[in-house]
Amino acid sequence: MGRKQENFSEWYNELVEKADLIDKRYPIKGMDVWRPYGLSIMRAIDRYTHEEMARTRHQEVQFPLFIPQTEFNKEAEQIKGFGGEVYWVTKGGNNDLDVPLVVRPTSETAMYPMFSLWVRSHKDLPLKVYQIVSVFRYETKQTRSFIRVREIHFFEAHTAHDTYEDAERQIHEDVQIWARLAERLCLPYVLSKRPDWDKFPGAHYSVAADAMLPELKTLQVATFHHYKDNFAKAYDIKYESQDSTHVFAHQTTYGMSERLLGAIISVHGDDKGLMLPPAVAPHQAVIVPILFKGKEAGVMDAARHLANLLLAAGFRVHVDDREETAGFKFNDWEMRGVPVRIELGPKDVEKAQCVMVRRDNGQKSFVAQADAAKGLAETLASYADGLVSRAWKTMTENVRDVKTAEEAKTVSGIARAGWCGSDECGQKIQAVTEKTVLGVPLDVAFPSFKEEAHGKLVLPGKGFSGHCAACGKATTTPVHIAKTY
Amino acid sequence: MGRKQENFSEWYNELVEKADLIDKRYPIKGMDVWRPYGLSIMRAIDRYTHEEMARTRHQEVQFPLFIPQTEFNKEAEQIKGFGGEVYWVTKGGNNDLDVPLVVRPTSETAMYPMFSLWVRSHKDLPLKVYQIVSVFRYETKQTRSFIRVREIHFFEAHTAHDTYEDAERQIHEDVQIWARLAERLCLPYVLSKRPDWDKFPGAHYSVAADAMLPELKTLQVATFHHYKDNFAKAYDIKYESQDSTHVFAHQTTYGMSERLLGAIISVHGDDKGLMLPPAVAPHQAVIVPILFKGKEAGVMDAARHLANLLLAAGFRVHVDDREETAGFKFNDWEMRGVPVRIELGPKDVEKAQCVMVRRDNGQKSFVAQADAAKGLAETLASYADGLVSRAWKTMTENVRDVKTAEEAKTVSGIARAGWCGSDECGQKIQAVTEKTVLGVPLDVAFPSFKEEAHGKLVLPGKGFSGHCAACGKATTTPVHIAKTY
């Protein structure tokens, strides 16, 4: 396996297959097979998403995969944005279809004709639904497992509201949901309001969460779009207000994908392999019995007993009883990113103890078997703290304040510079830096948002005072600038 | 809503929308939108399937949706069986694809090229995987929600084994899994080994579970296929045996779909609406507060207290606090098939009791609030017994032994008649009866299967002695004959 710091791409591409997350040998480029271990991690992420959706009273739906070309074409920006990268179904059996079908690249144009039927009165609002489905993009760029693929495991929440303000409250709630999820995944991020030229096709504005990967490029991992009544007008989503007038609804969406798994692999992994956050690890701990001749039975019994104790306490625990050496097993589970290894040999059995070893720093602790549940809880917590603090450290060390576009060009990571707000200067900053303007930090873009919505801010934008990195005009608005995937 | 006994189709088609299971107004025929209530029932069915798969050590995978035409064409029977009813993706963006892609109608041809890479040695066997995904069929027949649709919510388990016998053991396990699931869904069924002319494309043999719907036609709800090494030869799935020779693997599949929900609706529902089995009902009980002026607060408090008590005991319970009359709510929840309604009025609050009303027979019982959990458990159990016994009664009353094909023609429901085993006589029986030969009862087709694998047999075939319904030859093999969907 390549070394992460020397050749990130090689390291990443090898690890995703070596750790049995996916199989890239499927005969269509950019469409991987989810193997059980990888799918199990993704399902754990989905499980938290389902929980958050239930907590915030979103309802789960499932819309058809295909969208008639006639519906797809109703919103002009969507065609411009996605038309060049959708798959087309043109034949059923041996017949040419009368109306070609788009394989969904996202579901606005599938859902909103139905929203138009579902939304009648103000009592039907807010409407909050979501689905977790595959979406499809005919990628022409280089593909990379989980990060840029042609079949994407996708989460999309869609809402409709009576007013612009209520829709904006939804964006606020979405950002809070994201912050809770990111905490579970131990992922640092910056939140930016995207510049107008980079918003989602059809959106009024777009907010995004960007993670930072080892090459110090950022990866968009979550997006929140306020659509205003743009789509409502295209799809005729109107409600009867209390004074009996018919008013277009305001809409939002919240999107995430398997990129979350890509970010987890990239941010936390090391040269030995994955390091999984305890919240999504298929096994939070693996018990490796250390067998010596004649004492196998006692050790195996103790291992199973210990496993049952930990399973009963609610942990996901696995006993590795394969006929392999302990050393082989240690390496194997390190590669698969299991947070804690529990060693158990004849001496430990005698002393009624076990040895817990943290995946991140190899730190060992001897724990009485009777206290194993408490010991594992503590070890997992300190391991997760380790992941979080290392990841935030890397991010904060690679964010820098700069005064000019030329200076921003030299920054590896995220540069923060002033921006006068004009498209022209924004484009100039991009041209000079050969980087992307991620956008305006969330706390500056939305001073009305409550503090907790911002998550852990790397560089709070509030209170910024400087000059536009392109034209030099005085401004209190900074932007994040970075190389992106 | 139509009446179930008078016009089943009308009753069914109206109920699926009235009960908010799906919305049929999506602009592609045969592709419905899953609404939250309907999806919640399907997810509960899926949850049991996941549990059974974990119990029997199947691993969850997810394969890409698209299959290159070149792979799809490797197994001749599959092309014959599915070629006329698959959707074809022929364009990506504005480009014609070099190799057209099939949208999976089932996943043999997607999975087996990978199995060929995964299976190396006898140690890799048995390989047992499954996925729950959408599959697609370009149906030309009349569509019907859940029963015949173009996007199908589908479960498929695929296994590979070292020997024919081990694969047959898998079929045995599958039938047992099915029996456990059917019990939870309160669904009666017959198990038949399909005649050769009706087996799955590419299969060595097929076994199927058929339910009986109100028009006394049968509906195939689960299938189990032994592929022998037919696919292994087409996709080169070979393992190195212990004596170092390379041997083709033997394979099986197990399939189910959203038809299970169609069967639940059809078998249990009545003119008031659905009747959901407690195992899959989104709400197992709904508490309806009976409000009188001035006493609203006390009743609402008591209702919430009771709900918390029942939720804590593990039941799925909902308090209906809508501003509607009690009568409206009663009808509404009856229509949605909630197993038990709990009424709670001011007098009940005074007496610290509540009233539990069974959805199936309207039977009321007065239960002390302190005993509500016990009372609900008992009421749900007797309600489920009611569903099961009524459904089995309907089935057994409509299964009849007959001597000739002419006589079989007159039977509404399932006829059982002798069969000499020749294709010619089988086809003649179908022609004369204008019905379908479902196949040979499982206990006759597999005398080696253990008793428990057969589930609850309607008409045990073992011990049959009679004459072929077509040629009159003496035989100990009966077949099931019925009209099918």
User: What are the pLDDT digits (tens) for A361-391?
Assistant: 999 999 999 999 999 999 999 999 999 999 9
Q: How far apart are CA B319 and CA B289, in angstroms?
A: 8
The predicted pLDDT at position A283 comes to: 98
The correct answer on CATH 3.30.930.10 for the domain covering A8-268 is yes
Partners of B87 on chain A (C-beta within 8 Å) are 66, 89, 91-92, 101
Do β-strands A250-257 and A151-161 pair in parallel, antiparallel, or remain unpaired?
A: antiparallel
Judge whether residue A455 has pLDDT over 60.
Answer: no
Query: What residues of B are in contact with residue A153 (Cβ under 8 Å)?
Result: 62
Cβ–Cβ of A33/B61 closer than 8 Å? yes
β-pair partners for A368 = A353
Give the number of beta-carbon pairs within 8 Å between A and B. Answer: 142
Per the prediction, chain A carries an average pLDDT of: 95
Q: Please state which CATH number belongs to domain B285-395.
A: 3.40.50.800
Mean pLDDT score, A330-345 = 98
Q: For the structural domain made of B400-482, what CATH number should be given? A: 3.30.110.30
Q: Which mean pLDDT values do the consecutive 10-residue runs of chain B (485 residues) have?
A: 91 97 97 98 98 98 97 85 91 95 97 98 97 96 96 98 96 94 95 95 96 95 98 97 94 98 98 98 98 88 97 98 96 98 96 98 97 98 96 92 96 95 97 97 81 59 91 96 96
The CATH number of domain A285-383 is 3.40.50.800: yes
Q: Which residues contact A312 (CB under 8 A, 6 or more apart)?
A: none
Q: Where would I find the beta strands (DSSP E) of A259-339?
A: 285-289, 317-319
**pLDDT value at residue A293:** 85
Q: Tell me how crowded residue A316 is: count the other CB atoms within 10 A of its CB.
A: 16
**Contact check, Cβ <8 Å, A87/B91:** yes
**Above 60 in pLDDT, residue A453?**
no
> How far apart are the C-alpha atoms of B162 and A34, rounded to whole Å?
24
Q: Which residue of A has its CA nearest to B84?
A: A93
Instruction: Give φ, ψ of A132 to 5 degrees.
Output: -120, 110
Nearest CA in chain B to A21: B61
Q: State residue B456's pLDDT score.
A: 60
Nearest residue in chain B measured CA to CA from A130: B36
Q: What is the pLDDT of residue A447?
A: 78
Interacting residues of B68 by C-beta distance below 8 A, sequence separation 6+: A27, A28, B99, B101, B102
| CA-based nearest residue in chain B for residue A62 | B34
In this prediction the ipTM stands at: 0.96
Determine whether the interchain pair A129/B36 forms a contact, defined as Cβ–Cβ distance below 8 Å.
yes
Does A63 sit within 8 Å of B26, measured CB to CB?
A: yes
Q: How far apart are CA A103 and CA B475, in angstroms?
A: 53
- Say if residues A370 and A313 touch (Cβ distance below 8 Å): no
Q: DSSP letter for A121, please.
A: B
pLDDT > 70 in chain A, percent: 98
CB contact under 8 A, A83 and B93: yes
Residues of A in contact with B103 (CB under 8 A): 89, 103
With 90 as the cut, is the pLDDT of residue A24 above it? yes
Integer Rg of chain B from CA:
25
Taking contacts as CB-CB distances below 8 angstroms, the residues of chain B near A140 are 93
Calculate how close chain A gets to B266, using CA atoms only, in Å: 22
Q: What is the dihedral of CA B106, B108, B114, B115, to 10 degrees?
A: 140
Instruction: Please judge whether A68 and B93 are an interchain contact, meaning their C-beta atoms are less than 8 angstroms apart.
Output: no
Chain A hits for B63, Cβ within 8 Å: 26, 33-34
Q: Where are the domains of chain A?
A: 8-268, 285-383, 399-482
Residue of B nearest to A113 (CA): B26
Nearest to B262 by CA among B95, B485, B36, B51: B485
Nearest Cα residue in chain A from B66: A28
pLDDT digits (tens, 9 = 90+) for A239-285: 999 899 999 999 999 999 999 999 999 999 999 999 999 999 999 99
Count Cβ neighbours within 10 Å for each residue of B312-331 and write b for 16 or more, e otherwise: eeebbbbbbeeeeeeeebbe
Answer yes or no: do B136 and A65 touch at CB < 8 A: yes
Of B31, B60, B66, the CB nearest to A39: B60
Pick from B41, B47, B45: nearest CA to B16: B41
Distance from CA of A111 to the nearest CA of B (A): 9
- For position B84, what pLDDT does the model report? 87
Across the interface, whether the CB atoms of B90 and A85 are under 8 A apart is answered no
CATH fold for the domain made of A399-482: Translation Initiation Factor IF3 (3.30.110)
Q: Measured between beta carbons, which residues in chain B are less than 8 angstroms from residue A28?
A: 64, 66, 68, 101
